[in-house]
Structure 1
Amino acid sequence: MVAASANRQTLLILTHNLDIGGVQKNVAALANDQINYRKVIIVLLEDDKEIRYSLNPNIEVKLITLLLIDQKDYETGLKLFNYRLQQLNTVFNGISADIALSFEDYSNILLMQANLPAKKYCLAGYR
């Protein structure tokens, strides 16, 4: 295990939730491995889902509050996207990531639109 230091790189992972699923399992496994080498921050887009995978207590988890929108509204998707983008920009304020990683197309688009100073971006798609 690498000793803690102020010079450790920061890995930021963006995903919807850590409830049950293949993406969620991969995010948890990656975060638990990488905490041995760098600071890890996981940002979850859904605060209403339970975190079902064990995480090292040194992993920082940030949650975006779920916005309830009338699903009959024609612009529901756009309103939700803009809300999440605004919330991400608030969460990212003061964070500088060396590597920013997101899973699935929706999270990838959000991450690329957000104001996060990162040295490297990695976008992963799952089907």
Structure 2
Amino acid sequence: MANLFVALGAALAFLGVALGAFGAHGLKGKITPEMLEIYQTGVQYHLIHALGLILIGLLIYVMPSHLLNWAGWLLAVGIIIFSGSLYALSMTGVTKLGAITPIGGVAFLIGWILVVIAALAK
């Protein structure tokens, strides 16, 4: 699982950089500044949690734990739901998409709490 999370985190980091560049160069002037800010928030959380996935993968080598496995999956799901909903909202203007964003945020929070618990349990 460790290798999977490192690889997934790196792939998601790559995607986050590509989406950030697309937002900065491809969307500027095509969506409102408010929507661009929402898009950039998605990119920011996407990149932070992609690095978190890499960290979790490395932590699994040091202190294997089923809690870290769950944490990794929750961060990955959080990126998809949180950042994905913000990308979709900003490019479509469908503000109802913002209703699912907190689900991704909760996935992030639970994932990080599981890392804390796993670290304290060792």
Q: What's the TM-score bracket when you normalise by the shorter of the two chains? A: 0.3 to 0.5
Q: Which has the higher contact order (CA 8 A, sep 6+)?
A: 2
Q: Output the TM-score relative to the length of structure 1.
A: 0.31
Q: Output the TM-score relative to the length of structure 2.
A: 0.32
More strand by share: 1
